[in-house]
Amino acid sequence: HELVPGLDVKLYTVLLLSFFAILNLMGISESGSVALIIFTVHFLTLSLLCCFSLLYLCRNGLGQLQHNWNGYRPEEELLPDGNPGFVQRGFWTSIFFGYGTAMLGVSGFESSSQFIEEQAAGVFPKTLDNMWTAIAFFNPLVMFLAISIFPLPDIARVH
């Protein structure tokens, strides 16, 4: 892996999946305490990512954000075959698509419906309110930090 050169990604992926398979076999698949631990780790990871990204911005400034905000001209980034590497849609269109895509990966909405039958009356709307609160905070912040740190063509190449 690029971050840890000696890390065997396939091995650790199998180990992680095995760990969750064992948890499932033990009957902990729908445990509230396991869900709380996963949520806490996820929340702490996002918080650390945001803190270190803000620290990076404090040290390096907002030059990349300004460059991304002004937009790239396709001729600036050419692939080896001479085609533009970045399709310019406009900044606000990119914000819209980025926020919509982020809703799929961060929210947890897809798993909340599994527990609706097990919740007492009136609890599910509170659960949705809590998820919307977290999403409304983290999604725009992570998106802002990403476009403040990474060049847009690099983000476009990854996806």
Of 143, 61, 135, 150, the closest CA to residue 94 belongs to 143
Report pLDDT digits (tens) over 27-53.
765 566 766 777 788 889 999 999 999
Q: How confident is the model at residue 65 (pLDDT cuts 50, 70, 90)?
A: confident
As a whole number of angstroms, the longest Cα–Cα distance in the chain is 60
DSSP string for residues in the chain: --SSTT--HHHHHHHHHHHHHHHHHTT-TT-HHHHHHHHHHHHHHHHHHHHHHHHHHHHH-SHHHHHHHH---GGGSB-TTSSBSS----HHHHHHHHHHHHHHHH--HHHHGGGGGGSPTTHHHHHHHHHHHHHHHHHHHHHHHHHHHS-HHHHHHH-
The angle subtended at Cα 65 by Cα 63 and Cα 70, nearest 5°, is 100
Report pLDDT digits (tens) over 77-115.
555 655 555 555 666 776 677 666 666 655 555 566 566
Is the pLDDT at 54 greater than 50, yes or no? yes
Q: Are 65 and 148 contacting, i.e. CB atoms less than 8 angstroms apart?
A: yes
- Residue 62 carries which side chain, given as an amino acid letter? L
Cα gap 134→129, rounded to integer Å:
9
Of 50, 76, 79, the closest CA to residue 148 belongs to 50
pTM of the model: 0.64
Q: Please tell me the predicted confidence (pLDDT) of residue 79.
A: 56
Q: Please tell me the predicted confidence (pLDDT) of residue 74.
A: 46
